[in-house]
Homo-oligomer: A and B are copies of this chain.
Amino acid sequence: MATTYTTAQIAELLERVSNWGRWGKDDQRGALNYISNEKRAAAARLVRSGETVSLALPLPTRPARDNPTPVTHLMIRSGDIGHPLGSWGCADYFAIEPHGLATTHLDALCHHFYQGKMYNGFDYTEVDFQGAHKCAIDVARDGIISRGVLIDVPRLRKLEWIEPGDAIFPEDLEAAEQAEGVRVGEGDVMLLRTGRFKLRRIKGVGAISGLKMPGLHASCLEWLRERRIAVLGSDAVSDVLPTPYEPPLRMPIHTGSLVMMGVHLIDNADLEQLAEKCARESRYDFMFSLLPLILERGTASPANPVAMF
């Protein structure tokens, strides 16, 4: 399999995976439409023990090599009180760039453009200084609740983590499915583990840069479309970086998912605890929930996705 592509080849590939018009020309929800009520009810029926695992990093409040734009967290009122009999409260404040490289977040479909268009052909001018007038994050205001499936690539390859810069191919996805006894299907939230945060914990925060990441090779796009996933998540940014393709397209998984297929992306999820849980239980699917903040016109939401077993 070719591991690189020309710009023309990627353009053809992106054309092939398009879902534009599939849910009507006004649709702004994209592949979230695959999550029917019945799909959600079935996800709830996956619950057995009731145990939950968070898939989020804590909000990153300190600058780091992989976190150049930390969350500002400051107190408005601290605990000091005036009256010994009185009751009083404390309060805080935070300022956040949700797309931060160490922030677990959900990308809205409007986050990415290709040839001047976002998902379903909406024009890039729909995102102006006021925010996104189409495909903003609030299209998911009722929550993303579905079946989640973990694809654990380091486990498949018997590694602690996939090295930054290494690509993952469709045959890896299929081999992982087989090894795990699971099959990714319509409406699923597919979670791709690369072991990035295992590497970070062992080697230290400074060990990895936001510019070098393991991730899916562009050749996975057709596979993802055929499986009809609703959402793609990763402990990195889904794309392999630096890009192995001909410039100027740098992130064809972002382009193919957000723009062409209408697949929302979860970046920087922490999948370490989930991977341990799945391995321990020999079970790789679970009820998945992500409840984004309703930020009208927003391009993303910081999130705390949770898997329930």
Task: Please give the residue numbers on chain A whose beta carbons come within 8 Å of chain B beta carbons, in ascending order.
Answer: 7, 11, 36-45, 47-54, 56-59, 61, 63, 68-69, 71-81, 83-99, 110-116, 118, 123-132, 138, 141-143, 145, 248-251, 254-255, 259, 287, 289-300, 302-306, 308
Contact = CB atoms under 8 A, between A and B. Distances in A.
A214 to B, nearest CB: 20
Return the 7 tightest CB-CB contacts between A and B, nearest first. A41-B50, A79-B127, A40-B50, A44-B47, A37-B50, A95-B95, A79-B124
Contacts of A36: 50
25 contacts: A37-B50, A44-B45, A45-B47, A54-B294, A58-B295, A63-B63, A63-B69, A75-B130, A77-B129, A78-B128, A79-B113, A80-B125, A81-B124, A83-B248, A87-B250, A92-B97, A92-B295, A93-B95, A93-B97, A94-B295, A95-B95, A95-B96, A143-B289, A292-B304, A293-B302
B89 A74 contact: no
Contacts of A289: 143, 145, 289, 291, 306
B50 A295 contact: no
A229 to B, nearest CB: 18
B73 A93 contact: no
Contacts of A42: 50
